[in-house]
Structure 1
């Protein structure tokens, strides 16, 4: 009796994309910078439930940050330049670049991004799918 991994189950048809997504996530190397939180924000005031990703980006200006959606991935980039006119006696806060990638489930949409007090927040929503039942006619052949 052979053992199958879940993506290779005969009951999961058309889920090849999930297997590719898992491979992409495992390939994405991350050094842990910048640190981030992901929180669930419940429905309120007629707004749908949201996910909020908050990154600690102290020292970055709005024009040094970029939030894009590329091929089903949320990509957040930060680019800082060294200020050549400053002469540091001690340098503990490095000017560095980063790229943080989050794989989005199908249907997830970026609702907006906000930079406040050194924290970049990106809100994500998933519109409620409408429930659809489709009857398939059976062709009888004798």
Structure 2
């Protein structure tokens, strides 16, 4: 009989016999009729299959409960991370808006100061031209006076 033809809960060597013993050391089940059972009883830890199944089910349930707790903790952590990410993204947007506002304020201030400096330059240029004009007029008067 191949392993695919095995009947669950039945001995592979004695298909008419129900598995009754579990060898903890070998991690295998057997019936009382099997010859390898004798070596297990003398040297290995064995127990009735129903006890082994109950212990396995208990451990499996403990593992499942532990896994469920871990899953819930992971879900809570994930939700907290998503909330933190949303808050972070919102703060990034606020910072970008503040930087853009401040940039516009600085640009406007530079424009105002640039206009003021251009006006001052025009005033200086005008005053310089007036002074030059006055000097030219004074020199021309002086030249006329000398020529007369």
Task: Place the TM-score, normalised by the shorter chain, in its bin.
Answer: under 0.3
Structure index of larger Rg: 2
TM-score under structure 1 normalisation? 0.17
When you count strand as a share of all residues, which structure comes out higher?
1
More helix by share: 2
With structure 2 as the length reference, what TM-score do the two structures score? 0.16
